[in-house]
Amino acid sequence: MTLKPFNFGKVAVLMGGQSAEREVSLMSGAGVLQALRSRGVDAHAFDPAGQPISDLKKEGFDRCFIALHGRFGEDGTVQGALELLGIPYTGSGVMASSMAIDKVMTKRILLAEGLPTPRYVLLRQHSMQAADANAVTETLGLPLIVKPAREGSSLGLTKVARAADLQEAVQQAGALDADVLCEQFVEGDEVTCPVLGSGSEARALPVIRIVAPEGNYDYQNKYFTDTTQYLVPCGLPDGEEAHIQQLVLSAFRTLGCRGWARADVMIDKVSRQPFLLEINTSPGMTSHSLVPMSAQAAGISYEDLCVAVLETASLDYQPATDARARPAKGATA
């Protein structure tokens, strides 16, 4: 049965945190907090960087809306802590979160399941040699993309057009993560597609086509400028949007995601082949964020979106509720 907002109990909106995306997370959390309160939810801000996560139990919170991004929020760590505390939370569980934040692991799983993703080479910033740079460009060609394996919001991302610039790009990405992903550059349309729900109930929301200044959809253009165009309806050729939605749903289910997520996709301009880039299991909810924009196109307001996501809060492992689920007295493990 779908819960009404007043049945959610005391809700913590987790925001801020310790990752490089703290600033964005604070903006997301502030929006979610205001939206939930406007629907009568007893919601409170909670910053794990400012107090122990165990305080959630001490302060009597019944569930959590995770508006954290990046490490220590989107990577399975907070999810694991909430599992131990027995507090249901929004978004994917421990395993799916830890896999999805790792772009290389995500690629390995997608490729194993026959889902398309750009070719890649994994480097370790501190052990990279000149020969590695040559091998990367020979394997992937130029231009290519360099980014940290476990960061979001395009932090540390560089488009490399010359082999001579590869080392600097790897060092920049390596400042954020020891694992550096070098990825085939796919020239064409950049799109994103959110998913709402879990399992067979999951549905893809409208696809958004992103047109950034000079094709540079970086951290600044994502959150702090108004020069990027977001097209929804996306205006793609007939059948392409539905194909991308089905591809994103397949990736969502393959990784074991639940609740909500957003997948980024590049479409090759010649072949029109879509390539999955990554899946964000705790998407942004700022004024510039894409999940609310797509939801709005589907007739779902920001406030209703927040409530819908909160309704999906759950645990990987539900606590035992009766004697049948507990070991018999005197039983050994």
Q: What amino acid positions are annotated as catalytic residues? A: 21, 153, 223, 262, 264, 278, 280, 284
Q: DSSP letter for 328, please.
A: P
Q: How far apart are CA 213 and CA 69, in angstroms?
A: 25
Rounded-to-integer distance, Cα 98 and Cα 76, Å: 5
- CA-CA distance, 264 to 56, in Å (whole number)? 33
| C-alpha to C-alpha distances, 31 to 56, 84, 307, 328, nearest whole angstrom | 21, 28, 12, 47
Rounded distance, CA 246 to CA 105, Å? 21
Neighbour count for residue 167 (Cβ, 10 Å):
17
3-state secondary structure of 134: helix
Answer yes or no: are the C-beta atoms of 231 and 209 closer than 8 Å: yes
| Strand ranges (E), the chain | 10-14, 42-46, 63-66, 120-124, 144-148, 158-160, 179-184, 188-196, 203-204, 208-211, 229-231, 260-268, 274-280
